[in-house]
Amino acid sequence: MFALSDTLERRFAALKTTADFWSLRHVQESRESYWVRRRVAQAPSFVDDGGAMLSVRIAGVEAYAATCDISQAGLQAALQRAEQMARSLAGHNLLDLGSLPQPAEQNDDVMPGYDQRQDGVAHWYELLMAESALIPRDARLIDSHVGLTFTAHEQIYLNSAGARLRRAQRYVFPQVGVTASDERDSQSRSFGGSHLARQGGAEVLDQLGVIGSATRIADEALQLLLAPNTPNDSRDLLLMPDQMILQIHESIGHPLELDRILGDERNFAGTSFIRQEDFGHYRYGSPLLNVSFDPDVPGELSSYRHDDDGTPAERQLLIRDGILQRPLGGALSQWRSGLPGVANSRACSWNRPPIDRMANLNLEPGDKTLAALIGGIERGILMSNNRSWSIDDARNKFQFGCEWGQLIENGELKGVVKNPNYRGISSRFWRNLRAVGDASTFEILGTPYCGKGEPNQVIRVGHASPACVFADIDVFGGAA
C-alpha cells in the first residue's frame, strides 16, 4: 500500500516552478473481473492503470497536465506544460482564482481491511460456477450470467501549501442475471442490476445476499414471462430501494450538481430545473423528504474523508423536510457561486480534472415497515430494479422502467405484472412522497457507471434509500 508515496513526495519537493500554487494527484488502480455465462467460465480480465495530474495556479489562472511517466523528468515535463497553458490563458480567463482556498491538511484514509489477502482466481470461478449451477435447466431460461469485479484504488494528493492526503479503498461489484423467453416474449430478472456495489472484500457478498440468489432470480424471470402486462392508469407507487437509488440519482443528484446549475454542463449533459436562488426555500418534495450527502457510511461506495481537491468531507443535509438546503458543489463552485456546498469535487482517473460529482447521496429513513407501507395502499403497484430510464436535459421530466412489478390491492400484495413503467416530473413527483420506509427497508447500494463531463468521466457513486410510496403516479405497461 502506498508503495510510491515516499518517492512521489521526494520528486514533488524537487519540482521546479514559479507558480503561485501547484499540486500533484497520483492515482493507481487495478481491476479484476470474473464471469460465468450459461454455466461456462469466461476469460478473466485484469486491468492496471496509473499516472499523475499536475496542476498550477499562476496570477489567478489555473491549468493542469497529466502524465503516466512519474519519473522526476516526467513529472517536471507535465508541470511545465501546465505552466505554459496557464501563462497562455492570461488575460482570457473568466475567473481570477487567486483567492481560491488552498487545502493544507495531512491525513490517511484507508478502508478497514484494505491489506487483507484476497482469494485467488480459482476460488472465484468455483464460487461463480456453483452459483450458476443453481439456475434450473429449463428450456425457457435462454441466458444467464454471474460475475464479480474487484477494484483496488490508491490515491496520493500533494500540494505546495503542505497538504499530504492518501486514500486506499477496495470495491466489489457482483452481478446475477437470468433471461427467460417463450418465443413470443423475453423477460430478464437480475439481482440489483448494476446497483450492487460496496467498498470492501469478500464479506460484501454475504452482506448483499448474493450467494444463493440465482435460483430466486431464475424463478422470478419465469414468473415475469407468464405475467400480464402492467395496467395503464394512475396508482400509488411503492418503489423498492434498488429503484429508489436510480430515482434519487437522476432527479435529485444530477439537478443539484452546482456546476450544472452554473451552466458548465449544458453543452453535454444538460442543465437543471433548479436555480441558484432556489436554495434555502424551494419545496423540492413533501415534508417526508430528507436527503443527505454522507461520506461517513461504512462500506458505501463513495465514503471518503477528503475529496480529490483536498476538501474535508462531512455529512450535510441537501434537502431537509422537503426544503432545498444546499447544492452538490465542491470548493471551486462554492467560491464561484457564494453558495455553501459539500466536498464532492471528484475525478474518475489520474488523467481527468476533478469536477462536481455525486458521492454518497442518501434518502434518510422514515418510520414505516414494509408491511405498513403496503398496508397503507388501497390501489397501487410495487416496482423494483431499474431496467430503463429517460430524463430531459434539465433533469425534470422523466420516464423509468423496472424489471419487477406487483399489484397492491386493499393493503395486500397481489399478482406479478411485467413491463412496469412510470413517468413524472421531478418538481411534482417528490412532492407526492406519501410514506417513507424505516431502517428495516433501508439498503446501501450504488453504481460504478455515473457519466458526466467533457471528455466524459465515468465515476463510482453510492446511494442508500428505504422503500418509498408516492401518490397518484402515472404507470403503464408494454405491448400486449
318-346 pLDDT tens trace: 999 999 999 999 999 999 999 999 999 99
Q: What is the mean pLDDT of the chain?
A: 95
pLDDT value at 193 more than 80: no
Give CA–CA dist 458/351, Å, rounded. Answer: 12
Residues spanned by the domain of 366: 233-476
Q: ∠ at Cα 87 (454, 77), nearest 5°?
A: 75
Q: Are residues 152 and 284 in the same domain?
A: no
How far are the Cα atoms of 92, 114, 184, 304 from residue 200, in angstroms, in the given order?
Answer: 46, 8, 42, 13
Q: Are residues 285 and 428 in the same domain?
A: yes
Q: Given the C-alpha cell 436562488, which residue does it identify? A: 277
Q: Are residues 275 and 203 in the same domain?
A: no
pLDDT for 479 equals: 64
Q: What are phi and psi of 335, to 5 degrees?
A: -65, -40
How far are the Cα atoms of 20, 31, 48, 466 from residue 113, in angstroms, in the given order?
Answer: 39, 17, 21, 28
Give CA–CA dist 75/63, Å, rounded. Answer: 15
How far are the Cα atoms of 114, 374, 441 from residue 362, in angstroms, in the given order?
Answer: 25, 22, 13
* Chain segment 375-430, per-residue pLDDT in tens: 999 999 999 999 999 999 999 999 999 999 999 999 999 999 999 999 999 989 99
Give CA–CA dist 28/92, Å, rounded. Answer: 34
> b/e per residue, 80-110, with b = 16+ CB within 10 A?
bbbbebbeeeeeeeeeebeebebbeeeeebe
Q: Rg of the chain over CA atoms, in angstroms?
A: 24
Q: Are residues 161 and 253 in the same domain?
A: no
Asked if 408 contacts 463 with a C-beta cutoff of 8 angstroms, the reply is no
Residue type, 381: I
Q: Which three cell numbers stand for residue 416?
A: 406479478
Q: Are residues 255 and 382 in the same domain?
A: yes
Q: Are residues 174 and 34 in the same domain?
A: yes
**Residue ending a domain, choose from 226, 245, 266:** 226
Give CA–CA dist 266/144, Å, rounded. Answer: 39
Percent residues over pLDDT 90 in the chain: 92
How far are the Cα atoms of 62, 164, 307, 351 from residue 23, in angstroms, in the given order?
Answer: 11, 10, 14, 14
The answer, as to whether pTM is greater than 0.85, is yes
| H/E element, 259 | helix 258-261
Q: How far is CA 165 from the centre of its chain?
A: 23
Nearest CA among 312, 251, 273, 228 for reference residue 463: 251
Q: Which three cell numbers stand for residue 232?
A: 395503464
Q: Are residues 344 and 396 in the same domain?
A: yes
Please report which confidence band the pLDDT of residue 480 belongs to, taking 50, 70 and 90 as the band edges: very low
Give CA–CA dist 163/132, Å, rounded. Answer: 48
**Residue ending a domain, choose from 226, 254, 284:** 226
Asked if 340 contacts 411 with a C-beta cutoff of 8 angstroms, the reply is no
pLDDT for 192 equals: 78
Percent residues over pLDDT 70 in the chain: 100
Give CA–CA dist 80/11, Å, rounded. Answer: 14
Query: H helices within 309-447, ranges in order?
Result: 331-337, 370-375, 426-429
Please report which confidence band the pLDDT of residue 269 belongs to, taking 50, 70 and 90 as the band edges: confident
Asked if 307 contacts 354 with a C-beta cutoff of 8 angstroms, the reply is yes
Q: What are phi and psi of 122, to 5 degrees?
A: -60, -40
Q: Which three cell numbers stand for residue 165?
A: 492526503
Q: Are residues 201 and 63 in the same domain?
A: yes
**Residue ending a domain, choose from 182, 210, 226:** 226
Whether the bond between 455 and the residue before it is cis, its omega within 30 degrees of 0, is yes
Q: What are phi and psi of 243, to 5 degrees?
A: -100, -35
Q: Which of 1-10, 190-199, 223-232 bottoms out in mean pLDDT, i.e. has the lowest?
A: 190-199
Q: Are residues 220 and 240 in the same domain?
A: no
Around 290, how many Cα atoms within 13 Å sit in the side-chain half-sphere? 16
Q: Are residues 337 and 205 in the same domain?
A: no
Q: Say which residues have a Cβ less than 8 Å from residue 77's Cβ, sequence separation at least 6.
A: 67, 69
Give CA–CA dist 323/282, Å, rounded. Answer: 6
Give CA–CA dist 74/66, Å, rounded. Answer: 10
Give CA–CA dist 177/37, Å, rounded. Answer: 10
In CATH, what number is assigned to the domain containing residue 110?
3.30.2290.10
Question: How many structural domains are present in the chain?
Answer: 2
* Chain segment 428-457, per-residue pLDDT in tens: 999 999 999 999 999 999 999 999 998 899
Query: H helices within 32-113, ranges in order?
Result: 72-88
Q: Please give the full DSSP string across 223-272, using - where no structure is assigned.
A: HHHHSPBPP-EEEEEEE-HHHHHHHHIIIIIGGGBHHHHTTTTTTTT---
Q: Are residues 185 and 275 in the same domain?
A: no
pLDDT for 267 equals: 81
Q: Are residues 349 and 441 in the same domain?
A: yes
* Chain segment 24-74, per-residue pLDDT in tens: 999 999 999 999 999 999 999 999 999 999 999 999 999 999 999 999 999
